[in-house]
Amino acid sequence: MAEKYDVIIIGAGPGGLTAGVYCFRYNLKTLIIGQLPGGYVGLTHKICNFPGDQGVSGSDLANKMINHIKNIDVDFIQEAVKDVSGKNGNFKVKTEKKEYLGKKIIIATGTEHKKLGLKEEEKFFGRGISYCATCDAGFYKEKIAGVIGGGNSALTSAILLSKYAKEVFLIYRGDSLSKGEPKWVEEVQNNPKIKILFNTEVKKIKGKEKFEGVELSNGKELILNGLFIEIGAIPNIKLAERLKLELKKLSIKVDKEKRTNVPGVYAAGDVTDTPFKQILTAQADGAIAAHSAYTDLEKEK
């Protein structure tokens, strides 16, 4: 028989983990299910805007959050959720291995990397093409790497790669790095290893048996050993759609208490229509969602 919880949290990033901490404080029987403990935080090179840690690696910060969960009475399962269904007070959450029952659901599924959509992108994924500099930068010691994008993720990826590669090309379709935080922009512009290609897009991925480089929108070819794609992310709304949650610009629409249009379902973090998506705002969302779930459970007693 499936085990029943007061709250099941789907997603193990800052929003989901913080929701777990607060559910524990409210004495709620809680389960967190997430495929990537810590979420994309753990894949971030360096975080400089988290109060209390002037400069902390993403993996260290993620581990702190995960260890907090491990040391309190909250169940955690590292799996992917395949389906969620049901109604307020009786939701079913299925993974590949098991089914769980929950009175309330908090969706904190975050985002997934945007793809270029080019022909050879999938073919060379993991063999020259990557979406995670923190994971793969070390493979490019004394080699030439490219980064696509102009936001903070692209800038920090280029900075990290410059510590290994002999040359890094930052390829961006815009004409300035206005999307990035000024401090990151300054560091990139002052780095002699990083060459910025403005008003430029990748039109074709080159290579037969292995990745060899890219063809650019100006017709030129750029020989590269590796390419890191950092063009943003889109909310992971597959489960939201199954629950028929109302969306706003492909994000889950929530009220100020993180309730969705479906009773008993709350959402937190980057998957929501929160305009400013940061670790801190995801954590705040998780805390509010947990409080709302607790408040509703108390009313229903």
Which residues are identified as catalytic? 132, 135-136
Q: Is 273 exposed, middle or buried (0-12, 13-18, 19+ CB in 10 A)?
A: middle
Which residues does 158 contact at the CB level (< 8 Å), separation at least 6? 147, 168, 170, 188, 191, 194
Provide the token pair at 123.
């073919």
d(CA 135, CA 290): 32
Q: How far apart are CA 136 and CA 126, in angstroms?
A: 9
* Distance from the Cα of residue 136 to its chain's centroid: 17
SS3 for 223? Answer: strand
3-class DSSP state of 196 = strand
Beta strands in 18-65 (DSSP E): 30-33
